[in-house]
Amino acid sequence: EDKVVQSPLSLVVHEGDTVTLNCSYEVTNFRSLLWYKQEKKAPTFLFMLTSSGIEKKSGRLSSILDKKELFSILNITATQTGDSAVYLCAVDPYQGGSEKLVFGKGTKLTVNP
Amino acid sequence: DVKVTQSSRYLVKRTGEKVFLECVQDMDHENMFWYRQDPGLGLRLIYFSYDVKMKEKGDIPEGYSVSREKKERFSLILESASTNQTSMYLCASSFGTSEQFFGPGTRLTVL
């Protein structure tokens, strides 16, 4: 069974801290890994990773994939209160034309002023 | 910008009622998805569709059905609502292998 596990489940930090969120996966046919940010509404897309070792960056957020060890990390530097959200990791386990994703349970990040 | 809209943000229904949740996307995406999201359980796929009139069961289809008569619209139907279907329902769409774009969600309460 395809599985995505995120850790930690929750995290509380102070503004300015750097955080690392983890995502490990077990899927039969890996195609891509995606990160989403969910505040009080719909998840919004952050990154899609398909190749091992290539870092994707967007401002203070960055992510990298290790296909050999089957995990990804999401880094947030100089955290701000607006980074408080649930961060979701999802994997596309290519299944012959089906485009569904398998989601982890999320990491709830709280950034205190 | 891709826009995925859902018919209601909040809905309260009674046990046994038939419930329709509507989702519309405006980007001509072929794939559409319905998820439910519960604390501690994350996002779980109920049904998805990769073309008009095509549907496939996700991980938790029991108690639900879907309809996709037009490409832009994907409906989730609760034939006879039960209290254990109280949840946040999220619709999403995607094109090919691109990321999924989510609607704002419908928080359904079944009394």
Of B27, B17, B18, B38, nearest to B103 by C-alpha is B27
Q: For residue range A11-35, list pLDDT tens digits in order.
A: 999 999 999 999 999 988 888 999 9
Q: CA-to-CA distance for B87 and B37, rounded, in angstroms? A: 6
Cβ A99–B104 below 8 Å, yes or no? no
Of B2, B85, B110, B10, nearest to A40 by C-alpha is B10
Cβ B42–A103 below 8 Å, yes or no? yes
Higher pLDDT, B97 or B72: B72
Q: CA-to-CA distance for A76 and A111, rounded, in angstroms? A: 11
Q: For residue range A90-103, list pLDDT tens digits in order.
A: 998 876 656 788 99
Percentage with pLDDT > 70 across chain B: 98
pLDDT at A76 over 90: yes
Cβ A99–B43 below 8 Å, yes or no? no
Grade residue B90 by pLDDT with cuts at 50, 70 and 90.
very high
Q: CA-to-CA distance for A4 and B18, rounded, in angstroms? A: 33
A43 contact residues in B (CB cutoff 8 A): 43, 90, 102
- Write the single-letter amino acid at A83: D
